Copies of this chain bind each other. A is one copy, B any other.
Amino acid sequence: MSTASSVPTFGCTCARLRKLTRRLTRIYDAHLSAQAIKVTQYSLLANAARGERALSEFAAELEMDRSTLSRNLAPLAAQGWVSISIGADARSRSISLTAAGRRKLKAALPSWRKAQCEVESILGTEGVGELHRKIERALAALPVPSGKRA
């Protein structure tokens, strides 16, 4: 039935998740340190590679605060990997991956691959698959940050 009672059945889901995130992030970052970038940055590059978009759209897809994304993109822009230009609407910023960014992404792929494979080998392909399914299911059910802040 999985009826929601007024008393929690489990410990803090958020705390457990954060702990796992810390561990995973350390693994990926360790591998990516060979390329002097972090998983978060690798993800940003990989996402930027999906096409030029306004900052807001980009942030919405990642479900990240615009200011967060703006700040996280800054070091990547400083390295010349992404370009932040003024869009048609003079208020908006258009984010795109530069040629150097594409090269960097390509160069970092093997390191990311190693990290991902390490995780898959430790947890097993099955284990990772189930974890992904749980994550996707949760993402599909949980309320999105609503896009707009009232």
**Interface positions of A (Cβ within 8 A of B):** 2-28, 39-40, 42-43, 46, 62-64, 112-113, 115-117, 119-132, 134-139, 141-145
Contact = CB atoms under 8 A, between A and B. Distances in A.
A69 B111 CA distance: 29
Contacts of A16: 132, 135-136, 139
Contacts of A112: 12
B138 A9 contact: no
A125 B122 CA distance: 28
A2 to B, nearest CB: 4
Contacts of A131: 13, 134, 138
Contacts of A46: 12
B134 A122 contact: no
A120 B125 CA distance: 27
Contacts of A127: 2, 134, 137-138, 141
B13 A132 contact: yes
B28 A120 contact: no
Contacts of A8: 113, 116-117, 120
Contacts of A115: 14
